[in-house]
Amino acid sequence: MPAVPLPRRAGRRTNLGLLALLLLAGGTGVLAFGVGTPLPSRLVTAVHGAAGLGLLLLGPWKTVVVRRSRARTAGRRDPVAAWALAALLALTVVTGVVHSATGATVGGVGLLQVHVAAGVGTGALLVVHAVGSRQRLRRTDVSRRALLRAGGLAVGAAALWGAVEGGLRLTGAPGGRRRGTGSHERGSGEPAAMPVTQWFTDAVPDGGDDVLEVVAGGRTTRLRAAGLDRGDTVTAVLDCTGGWYAEQEWRGVRLDRLLAGTRLPEGGSLDVVSVTGYRRRLPLADASSLLLATHCAGRPLSAGHGAPVRLVAPGRRGFWWVKWVRRVEVVDGPWWLQPPVPLQ
């Protein structure tokens, strides 16, 4: 059967719609790693999911565009990159949907990791594909009619996302109970059931350092980890970017108590450094809500979960919760003067 004729402008609109959705999905996917508070994370995750599912709405039109383009450029353009882009995009969408619905792992690897890896590959090939197409923006791309069509696509994508979310809740699927960040519950109240994960550039050390250095006010104080259990507790959710979360009661010492009596700079920050060299910088103003934990759910931390001391940072994603803390330093500089995600 011959391909359905498609006006050239319609093909261009389809491509621009796909590009916009891909950029939105990619941007919100990156942003989702850093947002841990409930409402902002839910909004970011919803936009990310709607943008990803919106790609399915343009699938039939893109199929026609591809058929027409293939007939016009037969023998003049290598189709390998285009097919690779299509395959990676399909893998990205499928793994995202299945992770949202089930939170499953395959061979010990979470589907979220596969989703992220496929998304990164899709982004790289998208740049190659966009450069090769050599299309420039036109005034008609931002016309009133074009904006109305974009609004209709946005409404359709949001409706599809809402239908999927509603279906997960009605059927009682695990995805219907996931957190606003998209993470699934693993081991709340049972530390031994929590997955042992860390940032991909980090690794579990052979042994945690039993001495903690606190540098503040021009003075360095060395403390034994065993003496850091001052009875301060906080119930907080550890929400890992690996796609799981657990709510636990953490016990140790609050950082504001640890720094009491020390001359502190206004607008300063806290550098928290692991024995592995992994570090994060947090606002000094948050010291009263930050905890150096030695226990979880009434039990001493395990090595995989940061023993002998780990940082607990409520409202922040897991990569802020520095494990195997060796050094806490007060610095006279803004906390945001660091990469948004760890690079070491």
**191-331 in CATH: which number?**
3.90.420.10
- pLDDT of 192 over the 60 cut: yes
Q: DSSP states of 167-235 as a string?
A: HHHHHT-GGGG--TTSPEE--TT-GGGS-----TT----SS--SEEEEEETTEEEEEEGGGG--SEEEE
* Per-residue pLDDT reduced to its tens digit, 242-262: 999 999 999 999 999 999 988
- Domain map (residue ranges) of the chain: 8-182, 191-331
Residues 264-323 pLDDT 10s:
898 899 999 999 999 999 999 999 999 999 999 999 999 999 999 999 999 999 999 999
Summary mean pLDDT of the chain:
88
Q: Which residues contact 16 (CB under 8 A, 6 or more apart)?
A: 141
The winner for highest mean pLDDT among 39-43, 68-72, 202-206, 286-290 is 286-290
Whether 180 contacts 107, CB under 8 Å: no
Name the pLDDT band for 1 (thresholds 50, 70, 90). Answer: very low
Question: Does 19 score more than 50 pLDDT?
Answer: yes
pLDDT computed for residue 288 by the predictor: 96
Taking only the tens place, the pLDDT of each residue in 111-138 is 999 999 999 999 988 887 777 666 666 7
pLDDT band at residue 59 under the 50/70/90 scheme: confident
Q: Which two tokens stand for residue 132?
A: 């090769």
Q: Which helix (H) or strand (E) holds 278?
A: none
Minimum mean pLDDT range among 33-37, 54-58, 140-144: 140-144
Torsion, Cα 248 37 341 228, to 10 degrees, reads -40
User: Above 60 in pLDDT, residue 233?
Assistant: yes
pLDDT computed for residue 37 by the predictor: 81
pLDDT at 160: 95
More reliable by pLDDT, 208 or 320 = 320
